[in-house]
Chains A and B, each alone.
Chain A
Amino acid sequence: MSLEIYLDNSATTRVHPRVAEVMMRCFTEQYGNPSSLHTMGAGAERSLEEAREVVARYLGVSPSEVYFTSGGTEGNNMVLRGGCAARRSWGRHLITTAVEHPSVLRTCQALEEEGWEVTYLPVDRQGRIDPEDLGRALREDTALVSVMMVNNEVGSLQPVEAIGEILKGRTGRRPLFHVDAVQAVGKLPLRPSDWGVDALTASGHKFHGPKGVGFLYLRQGVEVSPLMTGGEQERGLRPGTENVPGAVGLARALELSLEEFDARAVAALRDLLVSSVLEGAPDAVWNGYPEGAPHIANISFPGVSGEMMVHHLAEAGVYVSTGSACSSRKPTSHVLEAMGLEEELLQGALRFSLSAETTEADVRRAAAVVVEVYRELKELFGRG
């Protein structure tokens, strides 16, 4: 079957051909080490700094507040581990949500083993936390608050601005406010400095950039101990020869994403997908809401297993996932569990994630295939 519709863009995206093009130049022509003093090195450093400026402009921050990392997981580990390490003289408590990415949740668990206390804020049926819960959870010794901008499994948006307001109003020691924006960058406008966000993390490969590179915004003056030690690269916060092709590719992908990702158009495609699926499969349930992230739709198909759906859909040329690729070996989603979904809806959940490359024809065909596969599987295994 020649039909191939890739709707797993929250797992990873295809690198934009124009991104690959600029990276190829870095590989074979402008391959210098930015730390080298000669012309080749200076050229590489210039490319790296131009990439940093692109990211800074998008966020409305200073380039000196942008650090390149090896990806979202490293960025999240840097902020959580490094933020806690820098505050251990007074802090021993952190606050996050029950629906964070494993790179945040597992780091929190590791910190718990080291003596930190962690409050996991609950979410409603739509996957959103209540800012008032956060206000109540805050303590004198709260060192860090980490809340994701867009949930990677269901697309729920967290009230980042409202949280920033609550934290701004605090007197005395203010906890570091971290936002995992991996699923938001290139898709939504982000203004961390206006929102009171101290640290924000992102990954290149979620918006048609390369794997193996990401960035961290860290507000000037906010202290974070480095996760790794070595050379003085990235102002001493992130050692190791800079991944120049990666950073250049990420910046180009970000520029292209801002040109090509039309949030309203993608949301319309998402709505078309959801309504077409629900029309053909009236017992399916959308685990989302219209104002959520435009590119993610999580739908539960009661009576079948999501994993089996993934395999059958792949055979039919439609590529989706059951949830996060990073925890795809786990039977059910911690996000959907936190949202209080019933067992049947947990088992049969699928994530569809769109990108600027997704077309209306893709969505219509995918929806038809999904409805068909669901019907077949229910007849085979379901209660009929």
Chain B
Amino acid sequence: MRKVYLDHSATTPVRSEVAELVLRYMTDTFGNPSSVHGFGREARKGVEEARERVASLINADPREIVFTSGGTEADNLAIKGVALANRKKGRHIITSAIEHHAVLHTCEFLEKEGYEVTVLGVDSAGLVSPDDLKAALRDDTILVSIMMANNEMGAIQPIKELAAIARERGVYFHTDAVQAVGQVKVDVEELGVDLLSLSAHKIYGPKGVGALYVRRGTKIKPIAHGGGHERRMRAGTENVPGIVGLGLAAKLAQEELEDRRRHLLKLRDKLIEGILDRVEDVRLNGPREERLPNNVNISFAYVEGESILLNLDLQGIAASSGSACTSGSLEPSHVLLAMGISHELAHGSVRMSLGTGNSEEDIDYVLEVLPSIIERLRSMSPLVGGRGEEKLQHVQR
């Protein structure tokens, strides 16, 4: 049976040259970068080279890169770190309704600690309105955190415009760019952001490592204490193999960005068009244009997303119903609900996220298998006809 992995937004395979480099730093150049002897110095060199590579990918200065254990830690450090360091200035934070839980739950945590949080809504395409941000900013706002690209339905936010609004008011701007990095151009200077999170395992690097970009001069405090690692921003022995793996993955992403984008766009559009052509009563979630090149998110009326996934899996196709981080929950996606999509359609959504390893044949295979799965499931669904009928009006092509 053909195996088609379409869950690259959940995690990606590690590129073979990255895996080889990680291996070398595990068994050969294995020192602790804080050690003063040769083993330590070699490891330190690897870490600093990786820092330059990550910085280069996002057009930052290497000194502005803090390595973390991943995207979640980067988000926590950015939001809690800025909130803690600027509490005297104010206690108001602005975010959006479609953020990853690493951002949303961190904001909720801060609410319990006495901070105020404004959650901006999104339009039906999943985009935040700059005017809404303008209206929400207050004198005591200390941070705006809005993701660059959504992990579920791929909407790319107008970060440059949003960050400029925050900057005008002297408010720090953080963006969770975990899904954007490696897929679209991410340039911290052009975007004008102060903090930016990224994760290695979404860009063909290893799990357990990520980075936070912190613009020089940003007032921020660490969330954990210990040795003086990472300019005192992140304690703990550096995950050297992970960090050099991230560094190489970043370098490859930078070199191949345009090729990857073109390849993914072709496959993405073929998949979207193919499904819209072959299956009735479907809705493409998220914007058609301002969208990640690897993201396809489609709601199939009258059927459960999970049933679709299980049937796809039986045919060798790995997809997801939304964020992997919440896939165990029975709640429909908070992202799709925020876009005004009904519970039923949100339950019937499937995310297919493409990767560099996917081919046109993979897409052909999905287009061959998927319509009959939907047809079969619908033939068993009590929602077809009766109650589901009125929902049809909301289904857009």
Contacts and interface: CB of A to CB of B under 8 A. Distances in A.
Given A31-B11, A230-B106, A71 B37 contact: no
A232 to B, nearest CB: 7
Interface of A: 6, 8, 11-15, 17, 19-20, 23-24, 27-29, 31-33, 35-41, 70-74, 76-77, 81, 101-103, 106-107, 109-110, 203, 205, 210-213, 227-233, 239-246, 307, 310-311, 313-314, 319-322, 324-329
A107 B226 contact: yes
Contacts of B35: 8, 11-12, 319, 321, 325, 328
A183 to B, nearest CB: 13
B75 A212 contact: no
22 contacts: A8-B37, A11-B34, A12-B31, A14-B30, A17-B27, A23-B23, A28-B16, A32-B10, A36-B10, A40-B318, A74-B69, A77-B226, A103-B235, A227-B224, A229-B106, A231-B325, A233-B325, A239-B101, A240-B69, A240-B70, A319-B37, A329-B34
A238 to B, nearest CB: 9
Task: Please classify how large the interface on chain B is, using the bins under 10, 10 to 19, 20 to 34, 35 or more.
Answer: 35 or more
A326 B207 contact: no
Contacts of B318: 32, 36, 38-41
A191 B202 CA distance: 38
B38 A314 contact: yes
A24 B236 contact: no
Interface stretch (B141-149, B237-245, B265-273): B237-245
Contacts of B23: 20, 23-24
A328 to B, nearest CB: 5
B10 A212 contact: no
B328 to A, nearest CB: 7
Instruction: Identify the interface centre among B106, B229, B312, B324: most chain A CB within 10 Å of its CB.
Output: B324
B208 interface: yes
B14 A27 contact: yes
Given A37-B306, A227-B223, A239-B72, A212 B208 contact: yes
Interface string B319-353: 11101111111000000000000000000000000
B252 interface: no
Interface of B: 5, 7, 10-14, 16, 18-19, 22-23, 26-27, 30-32, 34-40, 69-73, 75-76, 100-102, 105-106, 108-109, 199, 201, 206-209, 223-229, 235-242, 306, 309-310, 312-313, 318-321, 323-329
